[in-house]
Structure 1
Amino acid sequence: MKKIAFLFLLSFATLQLQAQDKPKTAKTSPRIIILATGGTIAGSGESSTKAAYTAGKVPIDDLLNAVPQIHDYGKITGEQIASIGSQDMNVVTWLKLSKRINEIFKNNEADAVVVTHGTDTQEETAYFLDLTIMSDKPVVIVGAMRPSTAMSQDGNRNLLDAVMVAASPKSQGKGVIVAMDEKVFDARDVTKTSSTNLETFQSRNFGPIGLIYDGKVNYYYQSLRNPSKKFDVTKLTSLPQVEIVYGYADASPQSVTGILGSEVKGIVYAGMGNGNFGEPVGKALAEASKKGIVVCRSARAGSGRITLDNEVKDEELGFVVSDDLNPQKARVLLMLSLTETADRTKIQQNFFEY
């Protein structure tokens, strides 16, 4: 009798282990909505071996049909939010995306969301959503470096990986993440580093937070810059205008003075080294600050952090620093901060917390 009971328990344990190794079926897996915005992952070209293509040509239904394996990981549905190359990404689409994702989770329409996106501004959209999505449920941004018609296209694999990441319970509470090239990146830290290489996305300061392999995702760390308070964009139809000014040797101050009479509310200065500037540009930035424009020092270097009141007298000049955010990410945070306050002390605190 004991032998029969032992064999029964052994068989039950074996079945349990086998079930854990298999992808869940659509009946038991999460409900995942894929929101499509266009980009290279939906691009189409006339040749499978040439680089030329048009972004955003392939509709979401065709993308889903091209990767039937995604249905092994859940109940998958798609919505077309936009059909653009990400070089044309804009605030209106950002707000539309954010409001729709918040609506999906508020109404319990899905357990996770995947956003297909062009790679040019993918990092900016990811960070904007990270700052405005009110749920801990997984939101995964994915794209491709080669169009769907290319012989060596990477979109199908990336999309499958993104769905698998979205379906994983381990992705809960990670904030918005980017899944590309078998790696998972925190939205705040990831950036595009190459104009053409497949392995373009990197987190230069900290590296990927997880790796994707053989249908599984393994996480190794999580960013502490994931504050519980988010920016509420529910009632917004636009964001304050913030421009990026690029620093270089012997730069003219006209890049700053030329926008002082416009509707600009903030300037992110992509400075040399530790966010530095030549004297003429420094005077122009100080004048902008006196006029009530919030000036944020960042760096063109691509990694590292900007130190407050070190080489530059930031407090005296009324400047804030971006900490370790690159210029394009600093612009996103500054725009959102300006929807709530123009107080430089509070904005600086945002850059040290978000």
Structure 2
Amino acid sequence: MDTPRIRILATGGTIAGSAGSAIERGYRPGQIGVAELLGAAETLGLDAAFAGRDIAAIGSQDIGWPQWDALHREIVAAMADDGVDGVIVTHGTDTAEETAFLLDLTLPAGKPVVLVGAMRPADAVGSDGMRNLANAVRVAGDTAAAGRGVLVVMSDQVFAAIDVRKAATGGAEAFRGFPRGPIGNVTPTSLDWFGPPDRSGRGARFAWPDALPKVAILHAYAGMDADAVGCSLGNGAAGLVLAGLGQGNAPGPVIEALAISGVPVVRSSRVDQGSVDRNLEVDDDRYGFVAARGLGPAKSRILLQVLLASGMRDPARMQEEFDRR
């Protein structure tokens, strides 16, 4: 097999972070550029040829449209380049699931695209960054990774973008998948897939938008009133996602306010995992709501933004998109 040619696009995050001490808890993300990351990767003896580019040097809490637009453009170019076999995006962990899902919705399921990060900065004792990067190289260079959509590699596991989420604030094994868990296990020297590619030959689900409309997430809580709905609308929200109680519920006044908001409303859940099913606790047909199904609030927001950007506003059609995998 020929040596895989990997394009690495760096955005910052903990994988590029520095604490200035092996035991210091605090650190600054995005301190290590792609050239230094590539230099470190080349010392590992990986069977791959690297080229890289810095897209950003930020913590992923600050990532947004400018970085997403640049990433998408670079990945599309890499996919069209016969000299590139796979793409790796180094990324902070806080919003990796959102970036991965947005790219997954708007890229064809062709060459492997892998997001990777770290839970500990590069100079911390027990740093996981280089192992995760070596694992990502193993995945991005594997021909069997094609046709699976955008992937996320963390803690010796491979997750599909639609399933992955950050489920813990700390610890190297902070990532989980729902409704599927990991779809593969990986180490720097091995890769085991748990099934065949399920999206081979599929084009992009949606065209890349010119911009993403504003969508707000409302976190439900006991005693919540309807003020948050009005505030979000007053700030220009074109759609609303309810991070609801349990099965996506909220106090009666909130549900009523959402029903007359005049914008598309998606019911998700603040619970860590589980499906929000249609018409189970809330009469979605009556209110014109969309049930998020297996998507949490963050991904529900991304999908709703993409749907609105594509001109879709009909709740029934939106529900079909939330039902898809």
Q: Classify the TM-score, shorter chain.
A: over 0.9
Equivalent residue for 1:10?
A: none
Equivalent residue for 2:282?
A: 312
Equivalent residue for 1:238?
A: 211
* 1:273–1:300 Cα contact (<8 Å) kept: yes
Residue by residue over 1:129-177, the C-alpha shift from the partner in whole angstroms, topping out at 9 and shown as x without a partner, is: 1111124110010000111111211101110110111111121111111
Residue by residue over 1:20-60, the C-alpha shift from the partner in whole angstroms, topping out at 9 and shown as x without a partner, is: xxxx6xxx212110000000000011211011110001111
Equivalent residue for 1:8?
A: none
Amino acid corresponding to residue 314 of structure 2 in structure 1: D
1:300 Cα deviation from its structure 2 partner: 0.8
Match for residue 346 of structure 1 among 293, 317, 320: 317
| Alpha-carbon distance between aligned partners in 2 of 1:114 and 1:100, rounded to the nearest angstrom | 11
| Alpha-carbon distance between aligned partners in 2 of 1:49 and 1:109, rounded to the nearest angstrom | 41
| Alpha-carbon distance between aligned partners in 2 of 1:59 and 1:339, rounded to the nearest angstrom | 33
Larger gyration radius, structure 1 or structure 2: 1
Equivalent residue for 2:296?
A: 326
| Alpha-carbon distance between aligned partners in 2 of 1:249 and 1:224, rounded to the nearest angstrom | 41
With normalisation by structure 1, the TM-score equals 0.87
Give unmatched runs, 5+ long, in structure 1: 1-23
Equivalent residue for 1:165?
A: 139
| Alpha-carbon distance between aligned partners in 2 of 1:262 and 1:231, rounded to the nearest angstrom | 27
* 1:32–1:112 Cα contact (<8 Å) kept: yes
Equivalent residue for 2:233?
A: 260
Q: Structure 2 vs 1, CA of residues 170 and 70 (structure 1 numbering), >3 Å: closer, same or farther?
A: farther
The more displaced of 98-107 and 178-187 is 98-107
| Alpha-carbon distance between aligned partners in 1 of 2:61 and 2:166, rounded to the nearest angstrom | 13
- The equivalences for 1:88-127 within 5 A come to 88-127=62-101
* 2:134–2:188 Cα contact (<8 Å) kept: no
Q: What is the DSSP-based 3-state SS (H/G/I as helix, E as strand, rest coil) of the residue aligned with 1:98? A: helix
1:71 Cα deviation from its structure 2 partner: 5.8
Alignment of 1:251 with 2:224, yes or no, is yes
| Alpha-carbon distance between aligned partners in 1 of 2:194 and 2:148, rounded to the nearest angstrom | 12
Q: What is the DSSP-based 3-state SS (H/G/I as helix, E as strand, rest coil) of the residue aligned with 1:259? A: helix
The more displaced of 202-211 and 323-332 is 202-211
| Alpha-carbon distance between aligned partners in 1 of 2:281 and 2:225, rounded to the nearest angstrom | 21
* 1:247–1:277 Cα contact (<8 Å) kept: yes
Residue by residue over 1:54-109, the C-alpha shift from the partner in whole angstroms, topping out at 9 and shown as x without a partner, is: 00011111111112256632221111011110010112211211121012212434
* 1:130–1:175 Cα contact (<8 Å) kept: yes
Which one has the bigger helix percentage? 1
1:216 Cα deviation from its structure 2 partner: 1.2
Match for residue 151 of structure 2 among 167, 174, 177: 177
> In angstroms, what is the RMSD of aligned CA positions?
1.7
Q: What is the DSSP-based 3-state SS (H/G/I as helix, E as strand, rest coil) of the residue aligned with 2:46? A: helix
Equivalent residue for 1:209?
A: 183
Match for residue 297 of structure 1 among 255, 262, 267: 267
Amino acid corresponding to residue 261 of structure 1 in structure 2: G
| Alpha-carbon distance between aligned partners in 1 of 2:197 and 2:305, rounded to the nearest angstrom | 22
Residue by residue over 1:95-129, the C-alpha shift from the partner in whole angstroms, topping out at 9 and shown as x without a partner, is: 21112101221243411100000000011111111
Aligned residue-pair number = 323
* 1:245–1:269 Cα contact (<8 Å) kept: yes
Q: Structure 2 vs 1, CA of residues 188 and 157 (structure 1 numbering), >3 Å: closer, same or farther?
A: same
* 2:17–2:31 Cα contact (<8 Å) kept: yes
| Alpha-carbon distance between aligned partners in 2 of 1:214 and 1:137, rounded to the nearest angstrom | 20
